[in-house]
Structure formats: C-alpha cells, structure tokens
A = this chain, B = another copy of it.
Amino acid sequence: MQGRDIRTGGGRLTVVGTGPGSVDHMTPAARSALEQADTIVGYGTYLDLIRDTFPDKELVTTGMTREVERCREAMDLAESGRHVALVSGGDPGIYAMAGLVLELAETRNSSLPIDIIPGIAALNACAARLGAPLMHDFAAVSLSDLLTPWEKITARLDAAAAADFVIVLYNPKSKRRTGHIEVARDIVLKYRPPETPVGIVTGAMRDHETVVITTLGQMLENEIGMQSCVIIGNTATRVWKHLMITPRGYGSKYALEEPEGPVP
C-alpha cells in the first residue's frame, strides 16, 4: 500500500491469509506477519491452528458470524497503537476480510497503515485436489443472497453457463439455504449436458477433507455443506482417473502448439 502516513502511534493492521486448514499452506509472509504482530484477531477455528505455533501471542477471538465485530475490534486495537494481525482463512482478498477492513477504514477515514497478505484460497486448494479444472476461463459465484439480490446471482450463473466458463461456486449451501444449489444446477443444465464433470471438495487440506468427482446430473446426490466448494467443468472438461481436466484450448485434444507463458 502506498502513501502511508503514520499518525496512529505506531499502530498498524495486517490482514493475513492463512490459507486452507493446514499450516503447510500458510506462506512465510503470512507467518512473519503473525510473528511481528502484538495481537492476533480471528475466528476461533482459524486461531486454533495458530495457537500452538505462537503460544506467547495475545489472541482475540470472536464467533464465526461476527465478521464486522471482528474487523472493528482489530481496527480499534490498531488505532490504539498496537500492531494487529487480523486472520482470514484462505485468501482475505477473495470473498473474505480484506474488503470489510477497507470499507470500515474508509467509513472512519482512517489513516492506519493497512497491509494485505494473500493466501491460498478455497479455489486454489480445491482445484489442486480435483486435478486441473481451472486451466481455462472461469467464473466464481457465491450462492449466498444475504447481501446480494438472488436475481443478480442467477443472472450471473446464466451468463457464466452460457459463455462456457468453468464455474466455481462459493457458499453453495447452508442450513438455511438449501435450494440455491438446485437452481444453480438447473441453470447450468440449460447449457451443458448432465455428464459435465463436477468436483466437490469439502474441508480442503484439512483432516476431514473429502473430494468427490461427480456429474452435473448427479451432483446433488452428494454431501454439500458450508465448507464445500463446487467446481463445474466447461463443455470441454473431462475426467481421467478421478481427476478433472479442463484442456487449455479448444483445438485438438492434446494441443502440441507452444503457448505463450501465463502470467507467473
């Protein structure tokens, strides 16, 4: 972040992506940010992963759904002069805490230095477990309509399905919201055959991780929950040995041409 001005008694706030469950997937940059912090703020389950690694740190924990409260508390502590790390599972930059922190800082017109350390997001982790589903253009859509009109979500699903994007579904299902995933499947079925490969990863990189490769037609016969991420293949995605492969191109099955390098 450029243009920092330090008028906060040395306080600062770092939003730290700790990646999926295991510390094996937390970057050195994230670890170092936690080491340097006076206080670590986060949701209980994520902090449990950190507690053993940093036994001497002050930890401030809140409930799962108390995201706004957690950000406020982290910002209050930082503005009082502390160096605070706010922990976000996965990547704080993808459907997570980075935006809330910046929205809050904007509301307060805060001059607090704020840094964001990226992490391995659910989509990175789940793609790795499923093989190679994200080799071509993809769209990430959250099925939660808590802050977004449902009509906007279904319009996006329709657009993504029609344009043959691989589709990554975040928040596919909760106790309260069980029907959205059915609607999502039906929308994609308008454009893709029921044999289209679908991957469901639950609790990626954790002890209780499950990985399922199924099809668009049969996906709802599988367990899908709060910790699941669902990836629906495009019309070229195929399955080989329980792995999803989305080919890089639409030419021959195995394109021998040399592509340009992707952005590293």
List the one stretch of A73-81, A119-127, A182-190 in contact with chain B.
A119-127
Residues of chain B within 8 A (CB-CB) of A138 are 139-140
Q: How far is the CA of A245 from the CA of B104 in the complex (A)?
A: 11
- Determine whether the beta carbon of B243 is less than 8 Å from that of A102: yes
Q: How far is the CA of A243 from the CA of B240 in the complex (A)?
A: 42
- Determine whether the beta carbon of A28 is less than 8 Å from that of B24: yes
Copies in the complex: 2
A260 CB, nearest partner CB in chain B, Å: 5
A97 CB, nearest partner CB in chain B, Å: 9
Residues of chain B within 8 A (CB-CB) of A162 are 159
The chain B residue sitting closest to A144, CB to CB, is B260
- Determine whether the beta carbon of B156 is less than 8 Å from that of A165: yes
Interface size class of A (residues with CB under 8 A): 35 or more
State whether the Cβ of A220 lies closer than 8 Å to any Cβ in chain B. no
- Determine whether the beta carbon of B155 is less than 8 Å from that of A106: no
Q: How far is the CA of A66 from the CA of B107 in the complex (A)?
A: 49
For chain A, residues 7 to 37, give those with C-beta under 8 angstroms from any C-beta of chain B: 17, 19-29, 32
Q: A116-B128, A127-B118 given as contacts; is B260 within 8 A of A135 (CB)?
A: no
State whether the Cβ of A89 lies closer than 8 Å to any Cβ in chain B. yes
- Determine whether the beta carbon of A257 is less than 8 Å from that of B147: yes
Partner of A149, one of B20, B124, B250: B250
3 cross-chain pairs, A with B, having the tightest CB-CB distances, nearest first: A147-B249, A89-B264, A99-B135
Other than A64-B261, A93-B135, A146-B249, give 18 A-B pairs with Cβ distance below 8 A. Answer: A1-B242, A25-B118, A89-B264, A91-B127, A91-B128, A94-B127, A98-B135, A103-B245, A104-B254, A107-B254, A116-B132, A121-B124, A137-B142, A144-B260, A159-B159, A160-B160, A171-B263, A229-B263
Instruction: Name 12 A/B residue pairs within 8 A (Cβ), A-sorted.
Output: A17-B124, A65-B258, A93-B128, A94-B135, A95-B135, A99-B247, A102-B240, A119-B120, A148-B249, A152-B250, A156-B163, A156-B165
